[in-house]
A = this chain, B = another copy of it.
Amino acid sequence: MTSTIVSPHLQLELAQRFRDVRLRTLGLCNPLTPEDMMVQSCAEASPAKWHLAHTAWFFESFILREFLPGYKLFNADFPWLFNSYYRNFAEFPEKRLRSSFSRPGLDEVLAYRSYVDEGIGKLLEAGAEPEVLKRIELGANHEEQHQELLLTDILHAFYTNPLRPVYRNDERKSDSSSARRHGENPLNFVQFAGGMVEVGFTGTGFCYDNELPRHRVWLEPYRLANRLVTNLEFAEFIADGGYRKSALWLSAGWDAVEQNGWKAPLYWNENGEGWRLFTLRGELSLEEIGTAPVSQVSYFEADAYARWAGKRLPTEFEWEAAAEAQPLQGNLLNTKNLAPVAAEDEGKQLLQLWGDCWEWTASAYLGYPGFEPLAGSLGEYNGKFMSGQMVLRGGSCATPKAQIRSSYRNFFQPETRWQFSGIRLADK
């Protein structure tokens, strides 16, 4: 988070951004019942209601309690109840217990959100000091991260329910041109010169501590695929026995294949008549979304696919160096697709850089040279996860646009599959 000097204009802008973010979170819950918002269907996920409460907790804990004079807690238990993992801040319940938080009820959580909104409103009206504004900005970004998680967690929750409910049942005109377009948008590789580049955040806006310091990196020349790997292309990997050939896999990846019985990406099922892919719009056939990017694959699957294809995954710096100059537009949360969609052929340029799917990189998630975590509890935000995880870049169809930028570093353990995570190939 860079230091900023605050103008009245920026204050207004931030107030608007705060309201927009808070409203969008509620909007994402519109299709959900209070019961839906109780489900926690895997170790990575949290109930939607918990996301609602925890994002309010963040503003209360790191801003209102410290900066709003005379602030009274909404509920004396919430400071520890809705803490996620900030050990320096307070005790917190085991993550797996979140599915037992039937109380507070949704009504009370919504009231908590309003109460916190009011508090932040007061601070902003009063003309907040720079540190407060920085933290509101951080809180908005934090909440946007949870918007994405809320969607991916609900997708998993609905997949786990044997009835496979549909999150969004508005009509989408069938992507009938999929089959036709396949083959018409062949994978091309775009050449980059490499050399000495700078990576890491630059500018005056918001960024996380893990995007800093900006620093120099030497890159050999490289090539990046112009678009993401599609469902149809990934189906060929499966058909060719990709999940049965140990030579294609990292050792730990092969262990994951065997232990979990992986035979396809997370939401793929064979029903005797071909692959069916579960999405926020329900189950669709491979034909219907074949040219959309493959999603919900682990790093291990991305890596094995690349080896099978005779290519490799890009490093996070190759990706960043290529993306920095590109306009930030794509299939992000704001486009309301809520699913990766097929790339339009636009010649030789890079497509689908932003949105659609997070792109697994070949880089382990580590601190940059001179990395300094934020002081205090906020220092636990990013730094303490710097082991055993791989970096993903570019955002997904569930990532708010304000959230993403070329220096943004997402990270997950290599076996993680419940995110919109896909594959961009690289080559020498």
User: A residues touching B (Cβ–Cβ < 8 Å)?
Assistant: 33-41, 49, 77, 80-81, 85, 87-88, 93, 97, 99-106, 157, 160-163, 165, 196, 215-220, 222, 246-247, 249-254, 299-300, 303, 315, 362-364, 366-367, 369-370, 380, 384-388, 390, 414, 428
Q: Which residues of B contact A387 (CB under 8 A)?
A: 250-253, 299-300, 303, 390, 414
Q: Which residues of B contact A216 (CB under 8 A)?
A: 218, 220
**9 smallest beta-carbon distances between A and B, as pairs:** A364-B364, A35-B102, A38-B38, A36-B102, A100-B160, A251-B384, A87-B246, A218-B218, A103-B165
Q: Which residues of B contact A41 (CB under 8 A)?
A: 99-100
A250 to B366, CA, bound (A): 11
Known contacts A303-B387, A364-B364; 4 additional CB pairs below 8 A are A33-B105, A36-B102, A99-B99, A103-B163
**A-B contacts, 21 listed (Cβ < 8 Å):** A35-B102, A35-B105, A38-B38, A38-B99, A39-B99, A39-B102, A40-B99, A81-B162, A87-B254, A88-B247, A97-B160, A101-B161, A102-B161, A102-B165, A196-B218, A215-B220, A218-B218, A250-B384, A251-B387, A299-B387, A388-B388
A287 to B131, CA, bound (A): 50
Q: Which residues of B contact A106 (CB under 8 A)?
A: 35
Least CB distance, A301 to chain B, in whole angstroms: 12
Query: If A34-B34, A220-B215 touch, does A163 touch B77 (CB 8 Å cutoff)?
Result: yes
Q: Which residues of B contact A102 (CB under 8 A)?
A: 33, 35-39, 157, 161, 165
Query: If A100-B157, A100-B161, A250-B384 touch, does A220 touch B34 (CB 8 Å cutoff)?
Result: no
Q: Which residue of B lies closest to A196 (CB)?
A: B218
A165 to B85, CA, bound (A): 23
Least CB distance, A105 to chain B, in whole angstroms: 6
A216 to B219, CA, bound (A): 8
A369 to B221, CA, bound (A): 10
Q: Are A370 and B428 in contact (CB under 8 A)?
A: yes
Q: Which of A77, A363, A384, A390 has the most CB of B within 10 A?
A: A384
Option from B165, B363, B369 in Cβ contact (under 8 Å) with A220:
B369
Q: Are A81 and B163 in contact (CB under 8 A)?
A: yes
A405 to B192, CA, bound (A): 34
Q: Which residues of B contact A163 (CB under 8 A)?
A: 77, 81, 101, 103-104
Q: Which residues of B contact A37 (CB under 8 A)?
A: 35, 102
A142 to B98, CA, bound (A): 31
A80 to B163, CA, bound (A): 11
Least CB distance, A30 to chain B, in whole angstroms: 15
Q: Are B249 and A384 in contact (CB under 8 A)?
A: yes
Q: Which residues of B contact A218 (CB under 8 A)?
A: 196, 216-218
Q: Which residues of B contact A93 (CB under 8 A)?
A: 162
Q: Are A386 and B250 in contact (CB under 8 A)?
A: yes
Least CB distance, A392 to chain B, in whole angstroms: 14
Least CB distance, A221 to chain B, in whole angstroms: 10
Q: Which residues of B contact A88 (CB under 8 A)?
A: 246-247
A193 to B106, CA, bound (A): 58
Q: Are B370 and A362 in contact (CB under 8 A)?
A: no
Least CB distance, A388 to chain B, in whole angstroms: 5
